[in-house]
Amino acid sequence: MKKIFLLICIVVNCFALAQSTDSAFYFVNSACQYDKAIIAYQKKIKTFRYKNILDKKFDLYNLACAYSLKNNESKVYETLKLCFKTDTASGYMGYVADPDFYNVVNKKLWRMFLKQNTPTRYKMMNDTLFYNLSKIAIQDQALYKKLNCTEHTFGSQSKEVNKIWDIKDSLNKSNLFLIEKYLADSVNVLSNAVVGENFANHCFLVIQHSDMGTMSKYLPVIKNLYTKGETDGGNYALLYDRVMLQKEKGVQYYGSQVDLEKNIPYPILDEKNVDKRRKELGMEPIKDYLLRFGIFYKPKR
């Protein structure tokens, strides 16, 4: 009976820990209840017998994210160092672009931390360039969790939500300023060959989030980079369609832009050949692309 009771306790305990971790993920990503997330991660890390060291590493990493979202700066570095110490082989480097670290990205200690923990692939890069690219990546995707939580509480048209969008608009202008400064200095931060695919894609997103004049200005640049194999064909298609939608009265060419209110793509010029054009740019069929938006779609034949 004792063995059976012990087994039941172990099963219940493991189930409780699994629930705890699931709850932590919910608290961070959906509810913005960072105190509860921290407690849940701390509990699991302290008591759970990890069979896979990577599982512990990622729990520590997520705990560091929760600390950042809670504005507990010292715990961010302490926990990330434990995370790296737990596993030195996998080379995980998500922290260089993770929007969860938005609250610390402009701190002096974060800049020092990045310098001391630069991933191998970026060690040949100038420290200032590496820091600024990381900052651009973090700021570009920052505050979306807070937006979701605020919309849920106050509504999408509330002054609280508009205030966050104002901050994001300011961040995009700051990012664009940095990108254009580097481009003017002949450092093409939009090129995979110059800064790596991760950072180049984040810089591209800043261009894509900008005004019509800026997008039009950099469309030939992106096209040239694609021709040289230094950016994805999908990036060119996204920017081309965005510009075209505004210039051609709501019509696109590659089917990359979706009307989320109607849950359909915006009208496509020469729709029956859209997959042929997408294939030429190395893109997946439009049917598969739209499935990621939950849209079941058949191109015209």
What does DSSP assign to residue 29?
I
Query: Which pLDDT tens digit goes with each residue over 178-208?
Result: 999 999 999 999 999 999 999 999 999 999 9
Do both 68 and 122 map to the same domain?
no
**Is 184 within 8 Å of 150 (Cβ atoms)?**
no
pTM for this prediction:
0.87
**pLDDT score recorded for residue 11:** 33
Q: Decide if pLDDT at 21 tops 60.
A: no
What does DSSP assign to residue 272?
G
Q: Decide if pLDDT at 12 tops 50.
A: no
**pLDDT score recorded for residue 22:** 59
Q: Which of 15-24, 102-111, 216-225 has the lowest mean pLDDT?
A: 15-24
> Could you give the count of Cα atoms lying within 13 Å of 48 in the half-sphere of its Cβ?
24
Q: Is 104 contained in some domain?
A: yes
Q: For the residues 43-57, what does the mean pLDDT come to?
A: 93
Do both 53 and 150 map to the same domain?
no
- Of residues 135 and 8, more confidently modeled: 135
Do both 130 and 153 map to the same domain?
yes
Do both 31 and 80 map to the same domain?
yes
Query: Which pLDDT tens digit goes with each residue over 83-108?
Result: 999 987 777 889 999 999 999 999 99
Residue 258 has φ and ψ, to the nearest 5°, of -115, 135
Do both 105 and 135 map to the same domain?
yes
**pLDDT score recorded for residue 90:** 74
Domain count, the chain: 3
**Residue that finishes a domain, picked among 41, 56, 88:** 88
**Residue that finishes a domain, picked among 53, 88, 123:** 88
Do both 101 and 44 map to the same domain?
no
Do both 17 and 59 map to the same domain?
yes
Q: Is 211 contained in some domain?
A: no
Q: Is 50 contained in some domain?
A: yes
Residue 90 and residue 84: Cα distance in Å, rounded? 9
Residue 212 and residue 210: Cα distance in Å, rounded? 7
**Is 101 within 8 Å of 65 (Cβ atoms)?**
yes
Encode burial over 36-72: b for 16+ CB neighbours within 10 A, e otherwise. bbbbbbbebbeebeeeeeeebbbbbbbbbbbbbbbeb
pLDDT band at 175 (very low <50, low <70, confident <90, very high): very high
**Is 76 within 8 Å of 107 (Cβ atoms)?**
no
Residue 64 has φ and ψ, to the nearest 5°, of -60, -40
Q: Is 9 contained in some domain?
A: yes
pLDDT band at 10 (very low <50, low <70, confident <90, very high): very low
Q: Is 20 contained in some domain?
A: yes
- Of residues 19 and 6, more confidently modeled: 19
- Any bridge partners for residue 259, and if so which? 264
User: How many residues does this entry show for the chain?
Assistant: 301
Q: Is 31 contained in some domain?
A: yes
Do both 162 and 248 map to the same domain?
no
Do both 99 and 189 map to the same domain?
yes
Do both 2 and 72 map to the same domain?
yes
38 Cβ contact list (under 8 Å, min separation 6): 63, 66, 67, 70
Q: Is 219 contained in some domain?
A: no
Do both 77 and 125 map to the same domain?
no
Q: For the residues 259-271, what does the mean pLDDT come to?
A: 91
**Residue that finishes a domain, picked among 88, 112, 137:** 88
Q: What is the mean pLDDT of the chain?
A: 90
**pLDDT score recorded for residue 29:** 72
**pLDDT score recorded for residue 13:** 38
Which residue range(s) make up the domain with 70?
1-88
Amino acid, res. 61:
Y
